Amino acid sequence: MSTVASISPVSFYLDLAQVGLLILALGFIVYRLRARLLPGWSGPPARLVETVTGLGSLILLAELTGLLGLLKPWTLLPAALLLALLAWLGLVPTGRSGGSVPPAPPLGPAPRLIALAVAAVVVAEWGTFASYSLDHGITNFDSVWYHLPFAADMFESGSVTGFHHTETVFVNWFYPQNSEIVHAVGMVFTGNDFLSVFINFGWLALALLAGWCVGRPYGRPHLTLLATAMLLVAHTMLVREPGTAKNDVAAVALVLSAMAILVNRAAAENDGIGRLAPGWAVAVAGLAIGMAAGTKVTALAPAALVTIAVLFAARRGARAATAAVWFGAGLLGGAWWYLRNLAATGNPIPQVESIGPISLPGPDRLQVGRPDFNVFHYITNTGVWSDYFFPGLERGFGSLWPLLVLVAVIGAAALVFTGPGRLLRGLGAAALLAVVAYLFTPLSAAGPDGAPTAFAINLRFLVPALAMAAALVPLLPAFGRRWPATGLGVALVALLLTAGSIEALYSMSGWQFGVAIAALFVALPGLAWLFRYRLPDFPGGRSPLTWAGLAMVAVPLVIAFPLASYYFDNRYEDFEPEYGMVEPYRWANDLTDSRIGLAGSTAGFRQYGFFGEDLSNDVTYIGRDAPKGGFDAIPDCDAFRTAVNDAELDYLVTSPFLNFADPSRPIRSPERRWVSGDPALGRVVGPGPVEVWRVDGRLKPVGCWGIEPEADFTPGLADPGGGP
């Protein structure tokens, strides 16, 4: 197999053409479905329903083919084209809920211009931060640890049934993987990860669209968009999501999409304001909330609470039918990953080891990376609040974070009592309880007891709940009047400017890229749409809107190949020199079709680069299977050498154990000592903390003679002494 760098422009654009054809096929299918089932919906709410349905169709199609080990271009694309043909022939269902028409009060130009400016700022900031991935490769810790390895494993195997063990410390192979399967689809069609740099921009666009739609039936979409945007540019999101495979933005987008569709459906007069009845809108909202739960475990609490709000708002006499539609669609959106866990461990969420006094089945862990304390553990600890929580909140949400929290929490509480209709009152309560649920979320205050060093990093777990609350606040009846609405808008703008990194637009090296994509994908089409009746046609009779659409397609196509070439020329050229990863990553970049074993969790937590540029390397962490889906470190030399032989490796990577308490001081892991000196191995990269060995034959058990196991040694729990 050739390396990515040698792909021709023809091959590159043929791959992109297949991706485009898949998107067009799914887009046509969901457009016909929406036109049949919700013919009265138009504008942004209709586009939101279609987008959610399209995402759900893509994930379901990938799961179904992956169940058969056939997650390949020659199954995905023909299946989508066949379904598109059926839709073209009119073989799509019809429903009885088509009469629901969400109200759409008229808007003047000012709210639309405000929304356009806000969206442009958000996209520009995201583009600025995403440019780092184009310059260096996707280097985000969680992305190289498990998000991208999970996607690459699906791409290589064509299957969604197996568990890819990234290391032996955590059990993240039990995480739901809806976002990873989207990355896997991109890899399936292109054979590389170039599209992964841009996937989170799709989730960002969905979140902004949902934010606009929440307020549309009440004539306040610019305010609900502002409330959503201020959280999307919050520092805790901005420094980790753009250009990476992190999936917090996906969870936010899907939760907000479910809420927006429900708000539009309940604003229609069919069943009484604030009431819901079974139908396509409820089904699509259920699909969105199911996909959120199938994306992150931390979205389970918001999903459950929104479900309660739906049941609370269901029309009298239709609650059972509404519940059936809601739960059926939700299970389609996210159940697979939990069913897989249940079959392997007897527990759909194996990370949850107990509910009160009730113990739940799941794997025992011999190694622990860091304690998984939650915020509630420190709820009365004033020292932790002053030393960690208050500074972390300021770092995560800006200097006006108290105002942000007060607006979200007090506004949602007020909605519970004064909201127009049962649904909005129920959603207000759901948002409040989701904020409370965050306090009990494992790892929300991770770190040694008394020192929750990961609190600021994991504030992203709070964002879906805050986004729910903040987006609902403008729907309070008080903000239906001009001056209160203006005051709220000013406050939200201040929060937007202080929560993020607006200075990045003139101080960071990637600001030109951020401004360019905001101009191309937001400002140009937005202005062309807003002034479509005032601008004269261009020569040839084409409207400015048509030319803007052509530019949005043509410019990315023209620059795509040069941009991809630049990306792969620089990908992982200087990855984490402080941990000794530069040379191992450079070595693996051009390697193809090789079996690579990893030992020591430093390599496990940073394993993605070993898949190579074309993702053709088979990367395996060397450990041993344990009961109930567990995966443990191997604690003795004989067993480790046997595992290396059984894996039939071409190369072995040895590294220290990653010390979460102090990453700058890794703990020595014994695997290098267990294998060094064996004639079957030849050092390829090293010496250093991370070394690569070529495996030319089977390791000999005699090599373990004279190597005594350390007393009570389990890698990561006992330091055998010495350096890394």
Q: What are the structure tokens assigned to 442, written together? A: 């494992």
> What pLDDT was estimated at residue 383?
95
- What is the average per-residue pLDDT within 550-555? 93
Indicate the SS3 state at residue 674.
Answer: helix
CB–CB of 166/172 below 8 Å?
yes
pLDDT single digits (tens) 275-334: 999 999 999 999 999 999 999 999 999 999 999 999 999 999 999 999 999 999 999 999
> What pLDDT was estimated at residue 372?
80
- What is the average per-residue pLDDT within 171-198? 97
> What pLDDT was estimated at residue 36?
93
pTM of the model: 0.95
- What is the average per-residue pLDDT within 454-482? 95
> What pLDDT was estimated at residue 196?
98
Q: What are the structure tokens assigned to 77, written together? A: 């694309």
- What is the average per-residue pLDDT within 403-413? 95
Measured between alpha carbons, how far is 352 from 362 in angstroms, rounded to an integer? 8
Pairing of strands 354-355, 358-359: antiparallel
> In this predicted model, which residue has the larger pLDDT, 601 or 20?
20
Q: What are the structure tokens assigned to 455, written together? A: 């609190």
Average pLDDT in the chain:
91
For residues 510-544, b (16+ Cβ closer than 10 Å) or e, as one string? bbebbbebbebbbbbbbbbebeeeeeeeeeeeeeb
> In this predicted model, which residue has the larger pLDDT, 357 or 63?
63
Return the closest-CA partner of residue 156 out of 584, 692, 592, 694. Answer: 592
> What pLDDT was estimated at residue 720?
40
Place of tokens 């480790």: 640
Confidence of residue 2 (pLDDT cuts 50, 70, 90): very low
pLDDT single digits (tens) 378-397: 999 999 999 999 999 999 99
* pLDDT at 368 exceeding the cut of 70: no
- What is the average per-residue pLDDT within 242-254? 97
Confidence of residue 660 (pLDDT cuts 50, 70, 90): confident
- What is the average per-residue pLDDT within 579-596? 95
pLDDT single digits (tens) 711-724: 444 454 444 433 33
* 691 strand-pairing partners: 654
Confidence of residue 507 (pLDDT cuts 50, 70, 90): confident
**Helices 9-37 and 43-67, axial angle in degrees (round to 10):** 120
536: left (phi over 0), alpha (psi -120 to 50) or beta: beta
> What pLDDT was estimated at residue 500?
80
CB–CB of 322/276 below 8 Å?
yes
Measured between alpha carbons, how far is 481 from 312 in angstroms, rounded to an integer? 28
* pLDDT at 703 exceeding the cut of 90: no
CA 200 to chain centre: 7
User: In the chain, what's the furthest Cα-to-Cα distance?
Assistant: 86
Which H helix or E strand runs over 75? Answer: helix 73-88
Q: What are the structure tokens assigned to 99, written together? A: 């009469």
Confidence of residue 447 (pLDDT cuts 50, 70, 90): confident
The least confident of 4-13, 92-101, 326-335 is 92-101
> What pLDDT was estimated at residue 367?
66
CA 239 to chain centre: 14
